Amino acid sequence: MSGMTPGLRYLPGYLDPTAQQAMLAELRARVAEAPLFTPVMPRTGKPFSVRMTNLGPLGWVSDRAGYRYQPTHPDTGRPWPPIPEMVLNIWRKVSGYPHDPEACLVNFYGQSAKMGPHRDTDEEDFAAPVVSISLGDSAIFRIGGPERGGKTQSLKLSSGDVLVMGGQSRLSYHGIDRVLPGTSTLLKDGGRINLTLRRVTRP
């Protein structure tokens, strides 16, 4: 795709259907230990339209107290399950960063879910990219620049696609405009799963 934000790498069809099924099975086992929860906005308490959980040593949470990373699930109080090896292997192959991620957000988008424009700035080390893996229904991903507003571009992310946000794109505003129902048969009841891998602390 020409004209993409510098540092943004789009790897369509990175996971074939067999690999997608294997990853989904791994995720289901871990989500059974760390169930999806509905985060809310700081201060207002407005619920997100996505449900989420986390894998890895640290998990990202949002509640009335603010945005932060913590080592335990907000509902169960237990540590997050480990990131599957096949997920870590994708990071090791595409990130260009010498250390493993510490957080893997698991976002589940129902048919009407979306994610407003935001930047990932709760991490200490912006030298590490953010790596996104899409499973299930396609979604329209939108990315702009380092300031809110201004010119944006959109990209359709389909099941098995990988997106690497490094360089200038690492601190660009981005979000999900909408999910395209019926575009994948991976999830029996439809919807989209997005895995977002991040390094949180400086090595």
Please report the pLDDT score of residue 3 as a whole number: 60
Give the pLDDT confidence of 78-93 residue by residue, as tens digits. Answer: 999 999 999 999 999 9
Mean pLDDT of all residues belonging to the chain = 95
Number of compact structural domains in the chain: 1
Please report the pLDDT score of residue 150 as a whole number: 81
Whether residue 75 is contained in a domain is answered as yes
In what side-by-side order are the strands of the sheet with 8-11?
A: 8-11, 162-165, 130-136, 192-198, 103-109, 51-55
Mean pLDDT, residues 59-66 taken together: 95
Confidence tier at 2 by pLDDT (50, 70, 90): very low
Residue 43: CATH number of its domain:
2.60.120.590
Q: How far is CA 47 from the centre of its chain?
A: 18
What is the percent of the chain with per-residue pLDDT over 90, rounded to a whole number? 89
For residue 146, pLDDT over 80 is answered with yes
Whether residue 107 is contained in a domain is answered as yes
Whether residue 2 is contained in a domain is answered as no
| Angle CA 19–135–199, to nearest 5 | 90
Whether residue 3 is contained in a domain is answered as no
Please report the pLDDT score of residue 35 as a whole number: 98
Q: Which range marks the domain in which residue 119 is found? A: 8-198
User: Which tokens is 180 given?
Assistant: 């395209």
What is the percent of the chain with per-residue pLDDT over 70, rounded to a whole number? 99
Whether residue 1 is contained in a domain is answered as no
Whether residue 118 is contained in a domain is answered as yes
Whether residue 124 is contained in a domain is answered as yes
Please report the pLDDT score of residue 1 as a whole number: 44
Give the pLDDT confidence of 92-138 residue by residue, as tens digits. Answer: 999 999 999 999 999 999 999 999 899 999 999 899 999 999 999 99
Please report the pLDDT score of residue 72 as a whole number: 98
Mean pLDDT, residues 155-166 taken together: 97
Contact 146, 172 (CB under 8 A): yes
Whether residue 81 is contained in a domain is answered as yes
